[in-house]
Amino acid sequence: MKLSVSARAVAAGGMATALLLAGGAVADAASSAPSRAAAAPDIPLAGVKAHLSQLQSIATANGGNRAHGRPGYKASLDYLKAKLDAAGYTTTVQQFTASGRTGYNLIADWPGGDPNQVVMAGSHLDSVSSGPGINDNGSGSAAVLETALAVSRAQYKPAKHLRFAWWGAEEIGLVGSRHYVNRLATGDRSRISAYLNFDMVGSPNPGYFVYDDDPAIEKTFKDYFGGLGVPTEIETEGDGRSDHAPFKSAGVPVGGLFTGASRAKTAAQAAKWGGTAGQAFDRCYHSSCDTTANIDDTALNRNSDAVAHAVWELSE
């Protein structure tokens, strides 16, 4: 969903900007308001879905999955790396071994910004072995990728340093993200000012859940969805179950978004979000039916825009 620019400015906290854009007179007080970074650009849903189609094709061509240690995972990573290299990122492929198989993390640094204040956005790129993992977690991977590409298209120059990451072997125990955190040089942990995690952000019967680990990051996301008029709930089901956990254990402020897995949507949730009460948020969680048909476009669109909003807002 693309907000009008003025509404997006409000979502980003720029009431004065909103008034200007709406052609209204801006009160004197507002004109003395601190300047704010430009609002994040709209993340094109078509771009995000094109990445999901590529990940689906990769899974189909590689035994039906993109799991750790299988050819479909490395082919997924190679697809993303090529896009990021072409967009001007400095990419690093970090190798590790888990369950007797070679795994890989993909790290993409956007040149510039304060290296002592690093804002990270990440998602796991691997699927389970039983399916292509388009919602879990192609959705998060594609939303983060398209946000990184939007940074490049905008030639965005934030004060803080931007780093994007796609983790391997999350499904067998957060292995890739733990490997990354454990190998951070001394002092580098405290240089990460925020780690934002996106794991399942396009569930077909979606809820809108916000991680409540760090109040400032939580507020950034809640303000964004508030600007859309979309109510949110605190994500309680996934504590320690995705790649933000190793960062949180290392003392890094973390946050993120989630649209739900195998738990059933309640009647109260269906009343505020739509969808089907009594049905799982994602009936294809960890199943072969987690394909490109297993995505709700509105949820994917809103969450992709929320990723960009948080990246812009937290890195200014």
Catalytic (active-site) positions: 170
Q: How many secondary structure helices (H) and strands (E) does the chain include?
A: 12, 8
Q: Which is nearer to ligand DTR, 227 or 238 (CB)?
A: 238
Q: How far is the CB of 19 from ligand DTR (least distance, A)?
A: 39
Residue 137 makes contact with Zn ion by CB under 5 A: yes
E strand segments, 158-291 = 160-167, 192-198, 209-210, 233-234, 254-258
Residue 242 makes contact with ligand DTR by CB under 6 A: yes
List phi, psi (to 5°) of 279.
Answer: -110, 145
With 0-12 / 13-18 / 19 or more C-beta atoms within 10 angstroms meaning exposed / middle / buried, residue 94 is middle
Residue 238 makes contact with ligand DTR by CB under 6 A: yes
Residue nearest to ligand DTR (CB): 238
Give residue for tokens 């009647």: 267
Residue 258 makes contact with ligand DTR by CB under 6 A: yes
Considering only residues 40, 109, 175, 199, which one is a binding residue for ligand DTR as defined by CB under 6 A? 199
Look at strands 114-124 and 101-110 and give their pairing: unpaired
List the x/- string, 85-124, binding to ligand DTR by CB under 6 A.
Answer: ----------------------------------------
Q: State how far the Cα of 261 lies from the Cα of 201, in Å rounded to an integer.
A: 10
Strand partners for 209: 233, 258
E strand segments, the chain = 90-98, 101-110, 114-124, 160-167, 192-198, 209-210, 233-234, 254-258
Q: Which stretch binds ligand DTR (CB under 6 A): 17-25, 57-65, 158-166, 237-245?
A: 237-245
Please give the structure tokens belonging to residue 21: 């854009």
For residue 79, the tally of other CB atoms under 10 A from its CB is 18
**Does an H or E element contain 6, and which?**
helix 5-11
- Out of ligand DTR, Zn ion, none, what residue 193 binds, judged by CB under 5 to 8 A for its kind, is none
Q: Which is nearer to Zn ion, 136 or 213 (CB)?
A: 136
- Out of ligand DTR, Zn ion, none, what residue 237 binds, judged by CB under 5 to 8 A for its kind, is ligand DTR
List phi, psi (to 5°) of 283.
Answer: -70, -15
Q: Of residues 152-191, which lie at the interface with ligand DTR (CB under 6 A)?
A: 170-171
Please count the residues of this chain forming the interface with ligand DTR, following the rule CB under 6 A: 12
Please give the structure tokens belonging to residue 50: 């094109």
Contact 210, 232 (CB under 8 A): yes
Q: Which is nearer to ligand DTR, 140 or 253 (CB)?
A: 140
- Out of Zn ion, ligand DTR, none, what residue 126 binds, judged by CB under 5 to 8 A for its kind, is none
Residue 218 makes contact with ligand DTR by CB under 6 A: no
Could you give the 3-state DSSP secondary structure of residue 316? coil
Residue 261 makes contact with ligand DTR by CB under 6 A: yes
- Out of Zn ion, ligand DTR, none, what residue 296 binds, judged by CB under 5 to 8 A for its kind, is none
Q: Which residues bind ligand DTR (CB under 6 A)?
A: 136-137, 170-171, 199-200, 237-238, 241-242, 258, 261
Q: Which residues bind Zn ion (CB under 5 A)?
A: 136-137, 199
